[in-house]
């Protein structure tokens, strides 16, 4: 029932993208977001789309799977588009009816904004599709470690994320199980008005909370029994190492940012 959620799910594989260091992938994602905001004009967006599809190709993920990750947010994308279309200020009116009017500038703005959203979604879902949650948090921890001297609890944050991620499938499974059990007792989770439906959720939510607390308690005891005492002096089995491919990938994304910056400000530089 609840197990077919595409967003944020790991898709195992052995491609170049899968093999990249998680730190590289997180940095590339961040830099790509910078590049998205630097982009201006059709050429820039063309290059960005090309870059995203190149990564999808290299990662050997099924194209449909990646595109499916847009689905949960399509309402926001359409809304962005529509709002920009109708509120954008500009000279060239394409279409007007009573006090509604669509200008060319508004339309372009709307298109630009929704493209940015879609690109953001695609690049971040490629990150989660090609990186298992555990490796991902390892990467985050490693990237946050330099900020420790400023009081950022890197290890604790990473540990909490690992645990949270680890328990998402477990809790989904549990939800599924309790839902089935209550359905078998005639519970109805899908009909009635909002109040009624909220009330109908109680037989699901109460057992779920109880089991979540029980699991948290068990886990705390298990961690303590194995002498867990935070990140101090903790070594790891798999050390993260940068390889040639990581440097190459990072270089590519820097070139991309440079390109975006050049397209945006290049002409101004030439004039100088």
Partner 1 sequence: MPITLENVEFTYMAKTPYERKALQGVSLTVDKGEFVAVIGHTGSGKSTLVQHLNGLLKPSAGKVTIDGLDISGKGEAVKKARHQVGMVFQYPEHQIFAETVFEDIAFGPRNKGMQENEVKQQVQDAMRFVGLDFETFASRSPFQLSGGQMRRVAIAGVIAMDPDYLILDEPSAGLDPRSRDAVFAEIMALYKKRRMAVILVTHSMEEAARYSNRLLVISGGRVILDGSPAEIYQNHKNELLAVSMDVPQLFKLSDELRARGMEIQADTMTAEALEAQIKTAKGLK
By beta-carbon proximity to partner 1, the closer residue of 166 and 180 is 180
Check residue 44 and report its DSSP letter. H
Cα separation, 154 vs 142, whole angstroms: 8
Rg (alpha carbons) of the chain, rounded to whole number: 24
According to DSSP, the residues that pair with 96 across neighbouring strands are 101
Instruction: Based on the shown chain and the rule CB under 8 A, indicate whether residue 59 belongs to the binding site for partner 1.
Output: no
Single out the residue of 98, 185, 229, 236 in contact with partner 1 (rule: CB under 8 A).
Answer: 185
Closest among 173, 147, 169, 150 to 158, alpha carbons compared? 147
Q: Which of 206, 216, 222, 223 binds partner 1 (CB under 8 A)?
A: 206
Which CB sits closer to partner 1, 185 or 229?
Answer: 185
Minimum CB separation of residue 8 from partner 1 in Å reads: 14
The least CB distance from residue 183 to partner 1, in Å, is 6
Q: Which residue has the tokens 């190459």?
A: 248
**70-109 footprint of partner 1 as x/- string (CB under 8 A):** ----------------------------------------
The Cα diameter of the chain in Å comes to 77
- Is residue 14 within the footprint of partner 1 (CB under 8 A)? no
Q: By CB under 8 A, is residue 203 in contact with partner 1?
A: yes
What residues pair up with 101 in beta bridges, in sequence order? 96
**Two tokens, residue 144:** 């946050």
Query: Shortest approach of partner 1 to residue 19 CB, angstroms?
Result: 17
User: Are 158 and 140 within 8 A, CB to CB?
Assistant: yes
Nearer to partner 1, 156 or 188 (CB): 188
DSSP label of 20: S
Q: Under the criterion CB under 8 A, does residue 252 sit at the interface with partner 1?
A: no
Nearest distance in Å: CB 181, partner 1: 4
- For residues 162 and 140, the answer to whether their CB atoms sit within 8 Å is no
Residue nearer to partner 1 on the CB measure, 134 or 144: 134
Q: How far is the CB of 203 from partner 1 (least distance, A)?
A: 5
Place of tokens 């109680």: 202
């Amino acid at each position: 029932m609840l197990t077919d959620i595409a967003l944020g799910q790991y898709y195992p594989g052995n491609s170049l993208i899968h093999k990249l260091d998680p730190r590289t992938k997180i940095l590339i994602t961040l830099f790509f977001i910078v590049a998205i905001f630097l982009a201006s004009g059709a050429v820039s967006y063309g290059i960005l789309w090309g870059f995203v599809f190149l990564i999808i190709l290299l990662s050997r993920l099924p194209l449909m799977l990646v595109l499916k990750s847009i689905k949960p947010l399509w309402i926001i994308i359409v809304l962005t588009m529509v709002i920009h279309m109708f509120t954008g200020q500009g000279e060239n009116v394409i279409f007007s009816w009573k006090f509604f009017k669509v200008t060319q500038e508004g339309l372009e703005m709307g298109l630009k904004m929704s493209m940015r959203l879609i690109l953001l979604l695609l690049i971040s879902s490629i990150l989660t599709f090609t990186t298992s949650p555990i490796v991902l948090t390892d990467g985050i921890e490693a990237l946050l470690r330099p900020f420790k001297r400023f009081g950022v609890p890197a290890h604790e944050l990473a540990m909490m994320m690992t645990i949270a991620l680890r328990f998402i499938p477990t809790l989904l499974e549990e939800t599924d199980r309790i839902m089935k059990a209550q359905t078998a007792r005639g519970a109805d989770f899908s009909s009635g008005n909002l109040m009624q439906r909220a009330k109908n959720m109680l037989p699901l939510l109460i057992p779920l909370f109880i089991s979540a607390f029980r699991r948290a308690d068990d886990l705390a005891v298990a961690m303590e029994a194995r002498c867990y005492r935070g990140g101090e002096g903790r070594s790891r089995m798999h050390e993260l190492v940068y390889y040639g491919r990581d440097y190459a990938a990072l270089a590519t994304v820097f070139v991309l940012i440079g390109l975006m910056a050049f397209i945006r400000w290049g002409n101004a530089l030439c004039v100088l």
